[in-house]
Structure 1
């Protein structure tokens, strides 16, 4: 199977430590992180993705807000600059340990953080990155 992710969720997963908007959101995110860690492919999508699913049935989810769409645009640009020489972001791709380390390194230096401006989780993500990603849920299985 393939995990469908909006571009900014590709950044969010780098610092995911089991916290989210609701218990259902967090439980769903835990499953997605486990799937990615087990080697499922990622497909970058526009609009709500597999992470958003638990929020879509609640009132007016922020998933459709212009600010979130702009966050995705900025994240896609930043990730493309970093990864495009190595992978094709227009189709499904596998996240490997080298790519994860590269993404986390670029996240720590702020290189791929323009999309994070104004995000309510930025302080948490800053702290996780400063800690060297201690306690993060995403690890990539190696064979």
Structure 2
């Protein structure tokens, strides 16, 4: 792992409340979001998260494989929090694939702009993107997915 992205030890003293928890695969979703979503509340929350990251690109993110700042407004959140559900396992697998490809651990803390730079430079083959996003119901409307598989 490149030292540039090995930020966890530098920020271990930061309380979790100062970190924005983001599922690893949401690094892709954030970039491809066009305003579609599960509900108006979900869409508004997604826009708020994206706006926050645009205003503060150096914001510290804690990359996770569980419900995050985006999931809090998802109508499927309850099913996702049940560790045994098919949906939960499928979504967590997307996170694990991203983390594996980025060579990061669950819980790694990294600046948002560095995380986006890393994901865009690492997941640069259509086969990588298919492996992460292949089962996503939003892939046909996702700008990140569309540009990545061209």
Normalising by structure 2, we get a TM-score of: 0.65
Larger relative helix fraction: 2
Distance in 1 separating the partners of 2:127 and 2:145: 16
Q: Partner residue of 1:122?
A: 139
Q: Offset at 1:125?
A: 2.2
**Equivalent residue for 2:79?**
61
What is the aligned partner in structure 1 of residue 5 from structure 2?
none
Preserved CA contact (<8 Å) 1:108 1:129: no
Alignment coverage as a number of residue pairs: 123
Deviation at 1:26, TM superposition (A): 0.7
Q: CA RMSD in A?
A: 2.9
Q: Where do 5+ consecutive residues of structure 1 fail to align?
A: 132-143
The higher-RCO structure (CA 8 Å, 6+ apart) is 1
Give the alignment partner of residue 23 of structure 1, picking from 27, 40, 43. Answer: 40
Residue aligning to 2:71: 52
Distance 1:128 1:117, change over 3 A: closer
Distance 1:106 1:121, change over 3 A: farther
Residue in structure 2 matching 1:77, options 94, 100, 116: 100
Q: How far has the Cα of 1:45 moved from its partner?
A: 1.4
